C-alpha cells in the first residue's frame, strides 16, 4: 500500500473544507446583498410615493382632464408640476422610469390595458406615451392589482427590448383615502445584477484569501507537529530491526511529547527484558546439562527398584488367593445362619402381630359385651316408658270421650234455650243469639274432641306395635349378650396360647441372631484380611507400575533436557541479534 503523508491528507481535507465554507459564505453574502437591494428599492418607492401623495390634488385634477387633447393636457400647470416631480425621481442610479397610471383597467381581445396619466420625458418619448393605453403583461397586471388592493405591488424580474427590469407599483390616495392614480417606478435590474456580481466576486476573493492563509497556517502547524512523529517512525524501524539502544528526543509535554516519552520507556523495558532472557537462557543451558546427568542416574536406580517390587507383588498375590478362599467359606456359612435368623424373625414378628390382633379382638369382644348389656338395659327402660305412654293415652281417650259427651249435652241445652227464647218473643232475642253461639262452640268442641280421639287411637295402635318390637328387641339383645360372652371366653384362650408360642419363637430368633452376628464378625475379619491382602497386592502392582512410569519419565526427562539444551542455544543466538 502506498504511503501518504499525514500533512498531504490534512491539506486535502482543509482544501475541501475551504471550498465548502467559501461556497456557503459566498451564497449567504449574495443572498444578503440581494435582499438589501430589494429593501432599498422598496424604501425608494415608499419615499417617492410619499412625495407624490403631497401632490394628490394635482394628480386628481389631472385625472379629471384626461379627455383634453395631448398638448392641452401636457400644458396644464398641474401636469407640468407632476412631470417635473417625476423627473426629479430619476436622480437615483437605480430608477430608470417613473410614471402614473389611471385606476381603471380595460380589456380588449383578452388583453388588459391601463391609460398612462403621466411619465418622465424619456419614457413618454420612447416608450409609453401619455394618454395612451399601456398593455399590461401578466406579472405587471398582478402588481397593478396588488397596488389597487394592498397599496403596493412588485413584479418579478422581466426582460423586454430595452433591458432587464423590476417594477414597483403603489396607489396614490387623497387625504380622504380615495385612490386617484397608480404610481410606478422601473428599476434597472441589469445594473443591480452587475453590482451583485461584483460583490459576489469580491466575497469569493476575500474568502479564498482568508482560506488560503488559514490553510497555510494549518499546514505549517501540521508539519511542525508531524516532525517528531517522523523521527519516532525512524527510531521504531531501528528498534524493530534489533537496535534497542535508540531513543526519541522528548520536546514538550504535549500529546506527542508524552508518546515519545512512553516509547522510550517501552524500548527500555524491552531492552531489560532481552537482557534478562539472555541471562536466563545461559542458566537454562547449564541446568539442562546437570538435569541430563541426574536423569540417567535416577533411571538406573528406578530400574532396580522396579524389579524388587515385582517380586513382592508375586508373594502378595498368593496370600490374597488364600484369604479369598477362607472368606468364601465363612460367607456361605453366615448366609445360611442369616436365613435361619430371618425365618425365625419373620415367625416372631407374625406371632407378635397375631398376639396383638388377638388382644385387640378380646378387647373388642369385651366392649361389645358391655355395649350389649347397656343396650338391653336401655331397651328394658324404653319398654317401660312405652307401657306408661300407652296407659296415659288410654286415660286421655277416656277424658276425650267425657269432653265429647259434655259437648253433646251443651249442644242439646243450647237447642232448648233457642226454643225457649223463641217462645219469649222480643224479650228473648238476646238470649237466642247467645244460645246460637253456644251451640256453635259446642259443635266445634265436639269436632275437635272427635279429631283428638282419632289421633289417640292411632297413637295407641303405634304404641302397641312399639311395645311388641321392644319386647322382641330385648329378647334378641339378651341372646346377643350371651353369644358375645362365649366369644370373649374363646378369644381369651386363643390369646393365652398365642402368647406362649410368641415367647418360644422369640427365644429361637434371639439365638439365631447371636449365631448370625458371630459368623458375620468372623466373615468381616476375613473380609478385612482379604481387603488388606488385596490392597497390598494392588499397592505393589501400583508401585511396580509407578516404577516403570518413573523409569519412562526419567528417559523422557533425559530426552527433554537434551531438547532444552538445543532450545537454549537457539534462544541465545536469537537474543544476540539485539543490540543492547
* Structure confidence by residue, pLDDT tens digits, 362-403: 787 678 678 768 867 866 777 777 778 778 777 877 787 887
Q: Read off the pLDDT of residues 194-220 as tens digits, 9 standing for 90 and up.
A: 887 887 888 888 878 887 888 888 888
The Cα 168–Cα 154 span in angstroms is 4
Model-level pTM? 0.39
Per-residue model confidence (pLDDT) at position 181: 94
Record: fold of 6-219: Beta-Lactamase (3.30.450)
Per-residue model confidence (pLDDT) at position 4: 59
C-alpha cell at 578: 539485539
Q: Residue 3 above 60 pLDDT?
A: no
Highest mean pLDDT among 122-136, 227-241, 419-433: 122-136
For helices 6-53 and 77-88, what crossing angle results, to 10°? 160
Highest mean pLDDT among 180-189, 222-231, 270-279: 180-189
CA distance readout (Å), 211 to 159, 217, 218:
38, 10, 10
- CA nearest neighbour of 430 among 421, 441, 438: 421
| Number of other residues whose CB lies within 10 A of the CB of residue 185 | 24
Q: Residue 123 above 60 pLDDT?
A: yes
Predicted confidence band at 80 (pLDDT cuts at 50, 70, 90)?
Answer: very high
Burial of 445 (0-12, 13-18, 19+ CB in 10 A): middle
Domains in the chain: boundaries: 6-219, 242-393+471-580
Per-residue model confidence (pLDDT) at position 144: 95
Per-residue model confidence (pLDDT) at position 73: 93
Phi and psi (nearest 5°) for 242?
A: 115, -5
C-alpha cell at 205: 476573493
Highest mean pLDDT among 123-137, 466-480, 513-527, 548-562: 123-137
The Cα 161–Cα 126 span in angstroms is 12
The Cα 213–Cα 312 span in angstroms is 100
Mean pLDDT for 516-536 is 69
Contact 56, 85 (CB under 8 A): no
The Cα 427–Cα 423 span in angstroms is 9
Amino acid at each position: 500500500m502506498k504511503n501518504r503523508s499525514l500533512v498531504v491528507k490534512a491539506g486535502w481535507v482543509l482544501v475541501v473544507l475551504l471550498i465548502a465554507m467559501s461556497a456557503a459564505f459566498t451564497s449567504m453574502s449574495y443572498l444578503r446583498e440581494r435582499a438589501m437591494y430589494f429593501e432599498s428599492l422598496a424604501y425608494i418607492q415608499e419615499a417617492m410615493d410619499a412625495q407624490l401623495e403631497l401632490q394628490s390634488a394635482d394628480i386628481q385634477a389631472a385625472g379629471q382632464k384626461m379627455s383634453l387633447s395631448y398638448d392641452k393636457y401636457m400644458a396644464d400647470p398641474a401636469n407640468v408640476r407632476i412631470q417635473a416631480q417625476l423627473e426629479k425621481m430619476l436622480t437615483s442610479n437605480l430608477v430608470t422610469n417613473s410614471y402614473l397610471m389611471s385606476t381603471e383597467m380595460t380589456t380588449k381581445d383578452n388583453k388588459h390595458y391601463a391609460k398612462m396619466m403621466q411619465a418622465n420625458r424619456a419614457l413618454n418619448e420612447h416608450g409609453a406615451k401619455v394618454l395612451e393605453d399601456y398593455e399590461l403583461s401578466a406579472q405587471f397586471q398582478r402588481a397593478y392589482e396588488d397596488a389597487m388592493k394592498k397599496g403596493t405591488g412588485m413584479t418579478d424580474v422581466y426582460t423586454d427590448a430595452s433591458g432587464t427590469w423590476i417594477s414597483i407599483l403603489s396607489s396614490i390616495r387623497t387625504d380622504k383615502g380615495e385612490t386617484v392614480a397608480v404610481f410606478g417606478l422601473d428599476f434597472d435590474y441589469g445594473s443591480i445584477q452587475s453590482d451583485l456580481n461584483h460583490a459576489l466576486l469580491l466575497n469569493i476573493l476575500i474568502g479564498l484569501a482568508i482560506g488560503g492563509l488559514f490553510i497555510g497556517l494549518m499546514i505549517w502547524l501540521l508539519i511542525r507537529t508531524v516532525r517528531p512523529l517522523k523521527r519516532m517512525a525512524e527510531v521504531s524501524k531501528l528498534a524493530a530491526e534489533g537496535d534497542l539502544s535508540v531513543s526519541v528526543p522528548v520536546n514538550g509535554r504535549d500529546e506527542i511529547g508524552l508518546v515519545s516519552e512512553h516509547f522510550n520507556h517501552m524500548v527500555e523495558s524491552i531492552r531489560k527484558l532481552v537482557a534478562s532472557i539472555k541471562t536466563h537462557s545461559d542458566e537454562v543451558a547449564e541446568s539442562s546439562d546437570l538435569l541430563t546427568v541426574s536423569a540417567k542416574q535416577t533411571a538406573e536406580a528406578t530400574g532396580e527398584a522396579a524389579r524388587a517390587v515385582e517380586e513382592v507383588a508375586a508373594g502378595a498375590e498368593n496370600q490374597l488367593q488364600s484369604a479369598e478362599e477362607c472368606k468364601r467359606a465363612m460367607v456361605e456359612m453366615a448366609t445360611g445362619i442369616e436365613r435361619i435368623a430371618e425365618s425365625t424373625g419373620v415367625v416372631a414378628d407374625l406371632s407378635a402381630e397375631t398376639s396383638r390382633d388377638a388382644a385387640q379382638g378380646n378387647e373388642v369382644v369385651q366392649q361389645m359385651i358391655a355395649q350389649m348389656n347397656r343396650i338391653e338395659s336401655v331397651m328394658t327402660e324404653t319398654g317401660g316408658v312405652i307401657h306408661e305412654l300407652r296407659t296415659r293415652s288410654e286415660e286421655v281417650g277416656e277424658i276425650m270421650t267425657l269432653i265429647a259427651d259434655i259437648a253433646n249435652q251443651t249442644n242439646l241445652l243450647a237447642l232448648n234455650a233457642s226454643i225457649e227464647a223463641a217462645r219469649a218473643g222480643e224479650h228473648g232475642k238476646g238470649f237466642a243469639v247467645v244460645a246460637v253461639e253456644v251451640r256453635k262452640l259446642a259443635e266445634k268442641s265436639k269436632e275437635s274432641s272427635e279429631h283428638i280421639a282419632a289421633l289417640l287411637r292411632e297413637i295407641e295402635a303405634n304404641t302397641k306395635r312399639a311395645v311388641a318390637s321392644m319386647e322382641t328387641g330385648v329378647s334378641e339383645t339378651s341372646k346377643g349378650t350371651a353369644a358375645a360372652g362365649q366369644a370373649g371366653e374363646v378369644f381369651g384362650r386363643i390369646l393365652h396360647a398365642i402368647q406362649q408360642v410368641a415367647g418360644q419363637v422369640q427365644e429361637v430368633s434371639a439365638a439365631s441372631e447371636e449365631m448370625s452376628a458371630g459368623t458375620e464378625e468372623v466373615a468381616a475379619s476375613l473380609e478385612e484380611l482379604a481387603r488388606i491382602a488385596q490392597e497390598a497386592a494392588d499397592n505393589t502392582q501400583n508401585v511396580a507400575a509407578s516404577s516403570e512410569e518413573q523409569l519412562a519419565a526419567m528417559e523422557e526427562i533425559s530426552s527433554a533436557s537434551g531438547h532444552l539444551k538445543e532450545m537454549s542455544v537457539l534462544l541465545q543466538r536469537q537474543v544476540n541479534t539485539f543490540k543492547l
